[in-house]
Amino acid sequence: MRFAINGENERVDIYDAIEQKEVQYYCPICNKEVIIKNGTINVPHFAHKTLEECDTFTADMTEWHRDWQNKFPKENQEVVIKLDINEMNYFHASTNWEFDKFKSWEESSDAFENLVLAGEKDWKMLHIEHRADVCINGYVIEFQHSPISYREFNERNWFYTEAGYKLIWIFDFIDEFDCSQMECYDEWRRRKDNGGKYKWKNPKRFMKNFVPQNTDNIKVLFQICDRNEYDLDEDDSIMERVIWAIEDEDGYSDFKRFFTSYYPGNSTELKEQIDKRIL
């Protein structure tokens, strides 16, 4: 995490904390003590003093991730999102969104029936908290460089949308594009929009439950160009928004073929669309 709480209940940036000595810091979710990590592999960050991690969503601590976060005000970075939900509703959501531990719908249904038969009628309320990379103007933005599991991708989609936010994913697929795993073979054009038609030799399977043309409150963007490598300006395009993918008969997506929109193509256009709430 980049931000922690000090003894005065003030939010402190890791880069400010590095300059201060003998100060204790605490996790903004669980209030347990965290320590400063300032090594050579990951960017500087806070970590729990014990190995126990309160936020079950994996944390991306790369320069790419931090650079994207820094395009937004600090007060919008690592915002703690809270959700209170009945345990039964959570059980159903975990099955419908496929982030539960069960291997099949039948196994999930059996588990639910066993709970009911065992007299588990007083379903308790669950309080869930997660840190959003960025939260601004009704949108949560998640920047993903490291690998992510199918279940975690689904759970994040469910959690942030259930909490009332629109969700934007930005994935670092620069290497996929550079090594020709992902290839633009044609373009499409309409009066107010245009974009690319892509082939993906070995598409990531974690997105199979995401069908872009059927989803309004979740947007996925692929960054396919390294701005620094090509000495590009902030207004040059480096990413594309996925708008269509092949849908199979079971309702899953196959990203071996997908279409994109060129807009928003950079952080400036992204922030403009968020400000106008048109994304």
Query: 27 in a domain, yes or no?
Result: yes
The one-letter amino acid code at 63 reads E
- Cβ-contact 166, 270 below 8 angstroms: no
- Cα 59 from chain centroid? 10
Confidence (pTM): 0.90
What is the helix, strand, coil percentage profile of the chain, to 5? 25, 35, 40
Query: 141 in a domain, yes or no?
Result: no
Query: 19 in a domain, yes or no?
Result: yes
Residue 155 is encoded by which pair of tokens? 């759970």
Query: 241 in a domain, yes or no?
Result: yes
Residue-by-residue pLDDT tens, the chain, 279 positions? 889 999 899 999 998 998 887 789 999 998 999 988 888 778 888 888 876 767 878 777 789 999 999 999 999 999 999 999 988 888 889 988 988 765 555 555 566 666 655 555 567 889 999 999 999 999 999 999 999 999 999 999 999 999 999 999 999 999 999 999 999 999 999 988 999 999 999 999 999 999 999 999 999 999 999 988 888 888 899 999 999 999 999 999 989 999 999 999 999 999 999 999 999
Query: 129 in a domain, yes or no?
Result: no
The domain containing residue 223 runs over which residues? 173-276
Query: 147 in a domain, yes or no?
Result: no
Query: 75 in a domain, yes or no?
Result: no
Query: 5 in a domain, yes or no?
Result: yes
